[in-house]
Amino acid sequence: MPRLSPADKAAAKKRAKQIQEAVYLCGTAPFSRVMMMTQEELRTLMLDLGDQRPTREPGNTMRKEVMKLQGAKFQAFCKYGSIWDHMSQHYEAINDAEDRLRNSKGATPQQLESAIAVLQFYLDNSTKILNHGYDLIRMLNENEAFSLRQLVAAQGDATIHRQDRVYYQITASRATLLCCKIRAKMTKPFKCCAATAKKAAKKICRKVRRAKKKMGKKPAGALVVV
C-alpha cells in the first residue's frame, strides 16, 4: 500500500475533522440556528443541497424549502422543529450529567441521583423527536424539501445513538449509586465516633490545663509531696 504524502495526510485529517463537525452539528444544532445560517455555513452540515439556482427568496436552501411548504406539511414541520429545539436546549446538561456519571469518584449520592434524573428526562421525552420526524418525512414527497429531509433523518439517527448511550449509562450507574449509598452509610457512624472522640479529647485537655494552672498558683515555700 503506497504511503501518503504529508499533504495527503493533512488533507485527510482536515476532511475527517469536517465530517466530525458536520455530524455534531446535524445532531445538536437547533432549527432556529440552521434557518439563519448563510449558504456557506449550511454547507458545513455536508447535506446534498441539490442544484444551486439563484432565486429571489432570501435565506439559505433549507429556509427556501421550508417556506414552500403549505398546510399540514408546514404545520408538521413547525411541530417537529419546536420539539427538536426544545430538546436541544438540554444537550449541554445531558453531556454534563454523562461526565458526572463517568467520573463518579468523590460524588455524593445526591449528585449521582441528579445526573441520572437528567438522563432519564431525555430518555422519556426524546422519542417525540423520532415520532414527529417520521411523520414529517412521510408527508414530504421526493421532489420537495430535499435538504430538510436529510437533516431530519440525520437528527433521528443522532437521537437513537444518544438514547442508546444514555440508557446504558443509566443502567451502569445504578450499581455505582448503590455502592455510593452503602459507602456513605458505613462511614457515617465512624464520623460520629470521631467527632465524639475529638470532643472528649478537648474536654480532657481543658481539665489538664486547669489542673496545671492550679499547681502553678501554690504559695512559695509550700511542700509538694511526691
Instruction: Judge whether residue 196 has pLDDT over 70.
Output: no
**Confidence grade of residue 181 (pLDDT, cut at 50, 70, 90):** confident
Name the 3-class secondary structure at 103. Answer: coil
What's the CA gap between 88 and 11, in Å, rounded?
32
- Which residues have a Cβ under 8 Å from the Cβ of 79 and sit 6 or more positions away? 132
What's the CA gap between 74 and 80, in Å, rounded?
10
What pLDDT does 182 receive?
Answer: 75
pLDDT in tens, 109-147: 888 889 999 999 999 999 999 999 999 999 998 888 889
**Confidence grade of residue 13 (pLDDT, cut at 50, 70, 90):** confident
What's the CA gap between 57 and 41, in Å, rounded?
18
What's the CA gap between 11 and 201, in Å, rounded?
70
What pLDDT does 204 receive?
Answer: 58
Average pLDDT over all residues of the chain: 81
What's the CA gap between 141 and 145, in Å, rounded?
8
Report if pTM > 0.85.
no
What pLDDT does 205 receive?
Answer: 58
Where residue 71 falls (left for φ over 0; alpha for ψ -120 to 50; beta otherwise) is left
pLDDT in tens, 39-90: 889 988 888 776 666 555 667 889 999 999 999 999 999 999 999 999 999 9
What pLDDT does 217 receive?
Answer: 54
What pLDDT does 195 receive?
Answer: 55
Return phi, psi of residue 16, to 5°.
-65, -40
**Structural domain spans, the chain:** 6-195
Return phi, psi of residue 61, to 5°.
-60, -45
What pLDDT does 166 receive?
Answer: 93
